[in-house]
Structure 1
Amino acid sequence: MKQINLLIGRPTPNLQAADKLAAASQIILSQPEKSDLALTYGPDYGEDSIREHIGDWLSQKYRPVSGHITQDRIIITNGASGALAGILQKFTDPSYTRRIFLVEPTYFLAVQTFLDAGFGQRMRGVPEDDEGINLEYLRHQLEEDGKTDDTPNTDVPRTKFPAQGYRKLFKYILYVVPTLSNPSGKTMSMHHRTALVELARQYDILLIADDVYDFLAWPADDSISHEGLELPPRLVDIDRQMAGSSEWGNAVSNGSFSKLAAPGLRMGWCEATPIFIHGLSTVGATLSGGCQGQYTSFLVDEMLVSGILKHHIHNTLIPTYRRRYRALVEAIKTYLYPLGIKISTGKPYETFAIDGGGNRAPTILSGGFFLYIDFPDGHQFPSATEIIRIGREEFGLIIAPGEIFAVKGDPEGLKRAQSTFNLGTRLCWAWNEEAVLIEAIQRFAKVVQRAQVLPL
C-alpha cells in the first residue's frame, strides 16, 4: 500500500514554476546590466526597483485604505522563516521582552525560531475562537502578566542598547497567521483585527503576521471566479490606517514567494513602517552580505513585472488548489461526517468578488493550504493517538497529531490541546492530487472503523 501523507504542507513539485523561473533566469543572466547586479552583494534593503514593484503589486492586490505601499515600507528577505528570525534578533530581548504569544493551534515549525531566540519559558499560547483569536483571553494574560514580578519591566536594563543599533524593543510579541491560517484554516474577523491592533498599541505588542496564504484565496461559491476577490486588510494595513500609529508601528507583514513560485527560492518580503524596515535592514547577517535574497529577487521581479507570476497564480495554482480543496471537502463529508468527524470552520469571513455579470457579489473567503477536522469528544470515539498509530502502521496514512500545534514552553498549552485541537488534525490539500486525497479520506474512515472495534 502506497503511503499517503496528509501532514506535509508544500506544493506538489509539478506546481513549482520551474519553467518560468528558468526563462526568468535566462533573461537575467543574458543581460549584463541585470546579471552584474543580481550576482553581487546587493543593497541591504534589496534593490529599490524590486521593492517598488512589490509595493505596487501589494497595493493592487490589497487596495489599502491608507494609500499606496511605497518602497520604503518594503524589505527583501530570504523567506518568511528567515525574516521571523531577523525580526526577533532586532526587536526583542529576553531580558526585556515579557512574553511571546502565539495563537494556538500554531504553526509548529515557527516555534523553534522563538526557542532559538531565548524565549522558551516566556512563550504562551492564545486560543483561537470562531473569529481567529480569543481576545479576552489575551487581554487577561496581559493584565495578569503586568501584576507579576518574575518578568522584566521597563526598569530592567536591556542587554541590547540603542548605541548598538537596537533603537526599539517590544515588550510583547504576538505571532499569528490571520488569513487562511496554518493550521486551522480560519480567517480572523475584521472586528478582531481592529481590536487586536488596538490592544497591541495599548500594551506595546509587535504583531508578527505571516501573510503567506493571502494570494491563494478564492470564493467559497464555485460559481464565482477568484478574479477580483477582495482580500481582508492585513494587520499592517489596519495599523497604518488607524489614527495614532507610532513611527515604529505595531505590526509587520511577513510575506513569501515560497507558496507562489517555489519553496526553494527562499525569497520573500516584509512590510512595516519605514523606520521599522530600516531597523530590520541592519540585522548582522544582512550587513555582512547585503540583501539575503539578491539573485532570487531578480528572478521573482522578472516574473512579477512581466505578469507571468500573476498568470501562474491565477491560472495554475488557484484552479488546482480549488479543485483539490473541493475534492477533499466532499470526501470528508461523504466518508467522515457519518462517523461524527466534522470540518472545523470557525466564523466564515464575508467578503466580495466579481460575479459572472461583472457585479460586486457577496461571498465567503476560502483557500490556503489547510483545513482542520474535529473528532467527536467522547469515550466511545478512538483517541487521536490510536487513530494516528493505526493510520501509519496499517493503512499507510500519515496524519498530524494535534498536539504538535501546541505552544512549547507554555505549561497550560498541552492541557488545552488535549481538550481542543488534539481532538482533531490538520489536513493539507496542496501536496496530493484529487484522486489521492479521496483515497486518503477513504483510508481515514477505515482507520476510525478499525480503531472502534479494537478493545479499549
Structure 2
Amino acid sequence: MKPIDLLIGRPTPNLQAADKLAAASQIILSQPEKSGMALTYGPDHGEDGIREHIGDWLSQKYRPVSGRITRDRIIITNGASGALAGILQKFADPSYTRRVFLVEPTYFLAVQTFLDAGFGQRMRGIPEDDEGINLEYLRRQLEEDSRTDDGILNTGVPRTKFPAQGYRKIYKYILYVVPTLSNPSGKTMSIHHRTALVELARQYDILLIADDVYDFLAWPADDGISHEGLELPPRLVDIDRQMAGSSEWGNTVSNGSFSKLAAPGLRVGWCEAMPNFIHGLSTVGATMSGGCQAQYTSFLIDEMLVSGILEHHIQNTLIPVYRRRYRALVEAIKTYLYPLGIRISTGKPYETFAMDDASNRVPTILSGGFFLYIDFPRGNQFPSATEIIRIGREEFGLTIAPGEIFAVKGDPESLKRAQSTFNLGTRLCWAWNEEAVLIEAIKRLAKAVQRAQELRS
C-alpha cells in the first residue's frame, strides 16, 4: 500500500514554475546590467523598481480603498518565515512586550519562531469563532492583562532594546493571525472582525502580524463562476491604512510570500506596512550586513511579474488545479465520511463578489487556500482522533495531522481547549496530491474510522 500524506502543506513539484523561472533566469543572466545588480549585495529594502512593481501588482489584486500601494510601503524579504523572525527582532522585546497572542488552531510551524524570540511563557492562544477570531475572548485577555502593573509582569527582566540602538518602536502586544483561508482551519475572517481587530490593536498597542500567503489562491465556491475577477477581502493592513487615526508606525503588517505562487525554494516574499515600519524592518542586522535577503530571486520574480507570466501561472495553472483537487476532496469527504458523522468545519462563509460569463458582478462565497478542517463527532461513542490517526498510519499508510499540534505552546490552556475543540478533528491538505490520490486517502480514512469503531465494540 503506497503511503499518502495529507499533512504535508506544499505544492506538488510539477506545479512549481521551473520552466518559467529558467526562462526568467536566462533573461536576467544574459543581460550584464541586470545580472550585475542581481548577483551583488542589494539595497536593504530591495531594488526600488522591484518594490514598485510589487506594489502595483498588489494594488491590482486587492484594489485598496486608500489607493495605490507605493514602494515605500514594501520591503522584499526572504519569505514569510524569515520575515516573521525579522519583525520580532525589530519590533518586539521579551522585556517589554507583554504578550504574544496566536489565533488557535494556529500554524504550528510558526510557533517555534516566537519561542526562538524568547516569548515562550508570554504566548497565549486566542480561539477562533465562526468569523475567524473570538474578539470577546481577546478583549477579556487584554483587559485582564492591562490591570497588571508592568513592573510586576517584567520583574527581573531588564529592558534590552532602546531607541538609541535603532529600536524606535516596540509594541506592547503581538498578535499572529492568518486572516484569509487560514492555515490550519481554512476559515476567512469577516469584515466586521477585521475592523474590530484593528480598533483593538490601536487601543492596546498591538502589532497584528497577518500571514497573507493564501490570498491569491482563491476562487468562488460556485463552480459555475470563474475565479478571474474574484474580489479579495481587504487585508488588515488595508483596513489600518483606510481608517482615520493611524499612527506613524501603524498596527499591522502584511507578510506575503511567493512560495505558494512560484516555488517554495525561492525563499522570496514581501512585507507591506507603514513606511516607517518598513524602514525599521530594513535595519535588521542580517539585512544591513548582507543587503536584501532575496536579491537574486527577487529579480526572477520581477521578470515574471512584469511580463505577466506569474499572473498567468496563478490564474491558468495553480487555481484550476487546486480548484479541481479541492472539489475532489470535498466530494470524497461527503461521500465516505459524512455517513460516519464527520463534517467539514467551515465557520461563517465569507461573502464576496466575482464576475459571471456576461461580466456581471455577482455574489459568491470565497473558497481556496491549501487546507480544510474536518470535525469528528463528539462523545464517548466515537473513537478518539488520536486512535483514528494511529490506525490510519499503521494499517492504511495514511498520514494526517493530530489536532493537538495546532495548539499554542507555552499556553497550557490552549492544549486544554484543544481537547474539546480542534483536537476532535484534523487538517487536510489538497495541494500536494492529485485528485485520485485524495479520493483514495479519504476512502482509507473512512476505513480507519470504521476499524477504530470495531476495536471499541
Q: Encode CA deviations 1:161-207: one digit per residue, 9 max, x unaligned.
A: 10100000000000000000000000000000000000000000000
8 Å CA contact 1:80–1:210 kept in 2: the answer is: yes
8 Å CA contact 2:123–2:408 kept in 1: the answer is: yes
8 Å CA contact 1:102–1:174 kept in 2: the answer is: yes
Alignment of 1:379-394 (within 5 A): 379-394=380-395
8 Å CA contact 1:255–1:269 kept in 2: the answer is: yes
Three-state SS of the structure 1 residue aligned to 2:412 is coil
Instruction: State the distance in 1 between where 2:148 and 2:195 align.
Output: 28
Instruction: State the distance in 1 between where 2:236 and 2:304 align.
Output: 27
Three-state SS of the structure 2 residue aligned to 1:412 is helix
Q: Report the CA distance between 1:148 and its aligned residue.
A: 2.5
Three-state SS of the structure 1 residue aligned to 2:444 is helix
Q: Encode CA deviations 1:342-375: one digit per residue, 9 max, x unaligned.
A: 0000000000000011100000000000000000
Three-state SS of the structure 2 residue aligned to 1:214 is coil
Instruction: State the distance in 2 between where 1:193 and 1:157 align.
Output: 35
Q: Report the CA distance between 1:149 and its aligned residue.
A: 4.3
> Which has the larger displacement, 178-187 or 141-150?
141-150
Q: Encode CA deviations 1:327-356: one digit per residue, 9 max, x unaligned.
A: 000000000000000000000000000001
Instruction: State the distance in 2 between where 1:343 and 1:352 align.
Output: 23
Q: Encode CA deviations 1:39-79: one digit per residue, 9 max, x unaligned.
A: 00000000000000000000000000001000000000000
Three-state SS of the structure 2 residue aligned to 1:215 is coil
8 Å CA contact 1:173–1:206 kept in 2: the answer is: yes
8 Å CA contact 1:343–1:371 kept in 2: the answer is: yes
Q: Report the CA distance between 1:158 and its aligned residue.
A: 2.7
Three-state SS of the structure 2 residue aligned to 1:351 is strand
TM-score of the pair, normalised by structure 1: 0.98
Distance of aligned partners of 1:391 and 1:143 in 2 relative to their CA distance in 1, 3 Å threshold: same
8 Å CA contact 1:374–1:421 kept in 2: the answer is: yes
8 Å CA contact 2:343–2:375 kept in 1: the answer is: yes
Q: Report the CA distance between 1:114 and its aligned residue.
A: 0.0
Instruction: State the distance in 1 between where 2:24 and 2:10 align.
Output: 23
Three-state SS of the structure 1 residue aligned to 2:67 is coil
Instruction: State the distance in 2 between where 1:226 and 1:211 align.
Output: 18
2:242 matched to which residue of 1? Answer: 241
8 Å CA contact 1:96–1:154 kept in 2: the answer is: no
TM-score of the pair, normalised by structure 2: 0.98
Q: Report the CA distance between 1:154 and its aligned residue.
A: 12
Instruction: State the distance in 1 between where 2:456 and 2:193 align.
Output: 45
Q: Report the CA distance between 1:159 and its aligned residue.
A: 1.2
Q: Encode CA deviations 1:289-318: one digit per residue, 9 max, x unaligned.
A: 000000000000000000000000000000
Instruction: State the distance in 1 between where 2:287 and 2:46 align.
Output: 10
Q: Report the CA distance between 1:147 and its aligned residue.
A: 1.8
Instruction: State the distance in 1 between where 2:312 and 2:272 align.
Output: 24
Q: Encode CA deviations 1:197-250: one digit per residue, 9 max, x unaligned.
A: 000000000000000000000000000000000000000000000000000000
8 Å CA contact 2:402–2:423 kept in 1: the answer is: yes
Identity of aligned residues (%): 90
The alignment of Structure 1 onto Structure 2 pairs a total of residues equal to 454
8 Å CA contact 2:259–2:266 kept in 1: the answer is: yes
Three-state SS of the structure 2 residue aligned to 1:382 is coil
Instruction: State the distance in 2 between where 1:47 and 1:273 align.
Output: 18
Would you identify which runs of 4 or more consecutive aligned residues in structure 1 move more than 2 Å? 153-158
Q: Encode CA deviations 1:9-33: one digit per residue, 9 max, x unaligned.
A: 0000000000000000000000001
Instruction: State the distance in 1 between where 2:54 and 2:347 align.
Output: 32
Distance of aligned partners of 1:155 and 1:121 in 2 relative to their CA distance in 1, 3 Å threshold: closer
Instruction: State the distance in 1 between where 2:76 and 2:312 align.
Output: 22
8 Å CA contact 1:105–1:127 kept in 2: the answer is: yes
2:433 matched to which residue of 1? Answer: 432
Distance of aligned partners of 1:275 and 1:391 in 2 relative to their CA distance in 1, 3 Å threshold: same
8 Å CA contact 1:188–1:349 kept in 2: the answer is: yes
8 Å CA contact 2:180–2:215 kept in 1: the answer is: yes
Distance of aligned partners of 1:124 and 1:375 in 2 relative to their CA distance in 1, 3 Å threshold: same
Q: Report the CA distance between 1:455 and its aligned residue.
A: 3.6
Three-state SS of the structure 2 residue aligned to 1:454 is helix
Q: Report the CA distance between 1:280 and its aligned residue.
A: 0.1
8 Å CA contact 1:342–1:375 kept in 2: the answer is: yes
Three-state SS of the structure 1 residue aligned to 2:353 is strand
Residue ranges of structure 1 left out of the alignment (5+ in a row): none
8 Å CA contact 1:204–1:250 kept in 2: the answer is: yes
1:367 matched to which residue of 2? Answer: 368
Q: Report the CA distance between 1:146 and its aligned residue.
A: 1.3
Three-state SS of the structure 2 residue aligned to 1:326 is helix
Q: Report the CA distance between 1:411 and its aligned residue.
A: 1.3
Instruction: State the distance in 1 between where 2:156 and 2:270 align.
Output: 34
8 Å CA contact 2:9–2:432 kept in 1: the answer is: yes
Instruction: State the distance in 2 between where 1:133 and 1:345 align.
Output: 13
Three-state SS of the structure 2 residue aligned to 1:101 is strand
Q: Report the CA distance between 1:157 and its aligned residue.
A: 6.0
8 Å CA contact 2:74–2:271 kept in 1: the answer is: yes
8 Å CA contact 2:383–2:456 kept in 1: the answer is: no
Instruction: State the distance in 1 between where 2:357 and 2:149 align.
Output: 60
Distance of aligned partners of 1:119 and 1:445 in 2 relative to their CA distance in 1, 3 Å threshold: same
1:452 matched to which residue of 2? Answer: 453
Three-state SS of the structure 2 residue aligned to 1:102 is strand
Instruction: State the distance in 2 between where 1:46 and 1:94 align.
Output: 29
1:77 matched to which residue of 2? Answer: 77
Distance of aligned partners of 1:69 and 1:155 in 2 relative to their CA distance in 1, 3 Å threshold: farther
Q: Report the CA distance between 1:156 and its aligned residue.
A: 8.5
Three-state SS of the structure 2 residue aligned to 1:21 is helix
Distance of aligned partners of 1:162 and 1:154 in 2 relative to their CA distance in 1, 3 Å threshold: farther
Q: Report the CA distance between 1:407 and its aligned residue.
A: 0.1
Instruction: State the distance in 1 between where 2:299 and 2:147 align.
Output: 50
Instruction: State the distance in 2 between where 1:376 and 1:455 align.
Output: 15
Instruction: State the distance in 1 between where 2:224 and 2:34 align.
Output: 43
Instruction: State the distance in 1 between where 2:125 and 2:67 align.
Output: 34
